[in-house]
């Protein structure tokens, strides 16, 4: 189609959009030569009367809880207890014409990349009243949350999507996995009791946190849990299944732990052990924890747990009996390119320079050229440079965590650059496959 024709069609198209399209109706518009067929879905887009902010009073909090309980199929939670745990200050509500119509919660913590904990805002409990869906409420909530994160100098944001388009529109992209494994308890062929194991007590939090940080810091994507994240594991609310915790010790030194709940099955012996968190700091601790799980085999048919894409725990077993039964890819948003690149760690032996040109149609401070210099395991960023590697902000999220290499991302259309530049980017962001056992 010639340039003149294209301009004419665009002009005609914009006139028609103003005059003919009726909110709520689907309209088809074909250009004169049939080159383009465009579909418009006009919705109630009165986003100007949406206002975002913290709940002004308890009645608004109550409205938010009612909306998200319905939206997310939550069981009835005790409002006071729920607010105490979540923190009222972490809730943001959307009001339309003064009434709460949706909201979300942001929990600030960190996420491990390259041996460094990068400040991260976890977005959760996103819900909009059904009668207000599809009219831009969630998009406005996400935009306001991103602006706030940037103001608070939090360079990353992560979430588990129930649906992707609304988050992709806000610049999030798939960047790591949560994998759930399943194995018959009877398939564990270990009987190693060389270390001791005992119930976790009130004074053991320090050991549990230390063991977790030891493992998490050597992965990509594990959370640097805040108090909220630890509390929901170690002390779940009364409306959730109770958690049992055990610590593995060599004399008085802790080497591993397990947190799990027991899910009743039918008939009785088909019960399930749901492992919420498990860290084996040593090979002996791994064998002790597997033996401990096998000791449940008379009443529990299955063991469920979450692990990395290749789980070292399975290496210890005689046969390949573990299967992955669930997978959800979490999404990441690079809120601040400069802060995100400088806060993470890099391979210590690598010295490299990468000239990036980032496209971010939402956050203008990211939409520019940057030079990343990597040396001694750290990254330094300055603005400018040649822009050798063109990256969409969503492609950068997947590349940053090591979920997809620059070479793979070129095939998705998120990245453009010469083979030599793609190879440099692939080395810089290479590392363990990003995963996390937490789900929020």
Ligand X SMILES: CC(C)(COP(=O)(O)OP(=O)(O)OC[C@H]1O[C@@H](n2cnc3c(N)ncnc32)[C@H](O)[C@@H]1OP(=O)(O)O)[C@@H](O)C(=O)NCCC(=O)NCCS
The residues of the shown chain that bind ligand X, judged by CB under 6 A, are: 71-72, 126-128, 133-139, 161-163, 165-166, 169
For residue 247, the minimal CB distance to ligand X (Å) is 34
Which lies closer to ligand X via its Cβ, residue 122 or residue 289?
122
CA distances from 226 to 108, 139, 193, 267 (A): 7, 26, 33, 39
CA dihedral 145, 143, 177, 366 (to 10 degrees): -100
DSSP, res 23: T
Closest distance between ligand X and the C-beta of residue 381, in Å? Answer: 31
* Residue 71 C-beta: closest distance to ligand X, Å: 4
Nearer CB in complex with ligand X: 106/275: 106
Nearest to ligand X of 92, 287 (CB atom)? 92
| Smallest separation, CB 416 to ligand X (Å) | 26
Q: Where are the alpha helices (DSSP H) in 182-277?
A: 205-216, 227-234
Minimum CB distance to ligand X smaller for 127 or for 221: 127
In three state form, how does the secondary structure of 312-372 look? HHHHCCCCCCCEEEEEEEEEEEECCHHHHHHHCCCCCCCCEEEEEEEECCCCHHHCCEEEE
127 versus 431: smaller Cβ distance to ligand X:
127
Q: d(Cα 332, Cα 339) in Å, to the nearest integer?
A: 14
Taking CA atoms, 214 is separated from 44, 110, 201, in Å, by 50, 15, 20
Give the Cα separation of 49 and 394 in Å (integer). Answer: 29
> What is the Cα–Cα distance from 326 to 181, expressed in whole angstroms?
7
Looking at beta carbons only, is 116 or 138 nearer to ligand X? Answer: 138
Residue nearest to ligand X (CB): 138
CB of 335 to ligand X, least distance (A): 18
What's the min distance (Å) between Cβ of 41 and ligand X? Answer: 7
CA separation for the pair 164, 103 (Å, rounded): 17
Query: Closer to ligand X at the Cβ: 32 or 43?
Result: 43
Minimum CB–partner distance for residue 36 and ligand X (Å): 18
């Amino acid at each position: 189609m010639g340039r003149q024709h294209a301009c004419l069609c665009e002009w005609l198209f914009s006139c028609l959009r103003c005059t003919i399209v009726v909110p709520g109706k689907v309209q088809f518009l074909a250009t004169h030569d049939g080159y383009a067929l465009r579909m418009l879905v006009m919705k109630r887009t009165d986003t100007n009367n949406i206002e975002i902010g913290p709940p002004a009073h308890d009645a608004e909090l109550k409205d938010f809880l009612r909306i998200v309980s319905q939206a997310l199929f939550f069981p009835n939670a005790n409002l006071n207890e729920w607010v105490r745990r979540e923190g009222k200050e972490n809730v943001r509500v959307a009001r339309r014409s003064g009434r709460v119509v949706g909201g979300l919660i942001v929990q600030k913590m960190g996420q491990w990349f390259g041996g460094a904990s990068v400040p991260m805002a976890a977005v959760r409990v996103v819900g909009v009243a059904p009668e207000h869906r599809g009219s831009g409420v969630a998009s406005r909530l996400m935009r306001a949350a991103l602006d706030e994160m940037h103001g608070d100098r939090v360079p990353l944001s992560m979430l588990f999507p129930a649906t992707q388009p609304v988050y992709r529109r806000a610049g999030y992209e798939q960047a790591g996995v949560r994998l759930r494994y399943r194995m018959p308890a009877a398939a564990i062929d270990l009987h190693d009791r060389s270390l001791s194991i005992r119930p976790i007590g009130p004074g053991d939090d320090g050991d549990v946190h230390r063991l977790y940080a030891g493992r998490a810091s050597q992965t990509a994507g594990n959370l640097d849990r805040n108090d909220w994240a630890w509390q929901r594991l170690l002390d779940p609310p009364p409306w959730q299944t109770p958690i049992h915790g055990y610590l593995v010790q060599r004399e008085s030194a802790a080497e591993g732990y397990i947190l799990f709940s027991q899910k009743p099955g039918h008939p009785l012996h088909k019960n399930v052990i749901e492992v919420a968190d498990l860290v084996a700091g040593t090979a002996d601790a791994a064998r002790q924890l597997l033996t401990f799980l096998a000791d449940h085999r008379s009443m529990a048919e299955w063991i469920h747990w979450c692990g990395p894409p290749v789980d070292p725990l399975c290496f210890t077993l005689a046969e390949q009996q573990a299967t992955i039964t669930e997978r959800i890819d979490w999404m990441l948003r690079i809120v601040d390119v400069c802060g995100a690149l400088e806060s993470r760690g890099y391979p210590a032996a690598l010295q490299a320079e990468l000239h990036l040109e980032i496209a971010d149609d939402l956050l203008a401070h990211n939409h520019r050229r940057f030079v990343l210099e990597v040396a001694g395991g750290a990254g330094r960023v300055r603005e400018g440079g040649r822009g050798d590697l063109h990256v969409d902000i969503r492609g950068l999220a997947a590349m940053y965590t090591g979920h997809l290499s620059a070479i793979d991302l070129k095939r998705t259309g998120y990245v453009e650059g010469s083979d030599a530049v793609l190879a440099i980017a692939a080395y810089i962001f290479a590392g363990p496959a990003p995963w996390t056992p937490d789900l929020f």
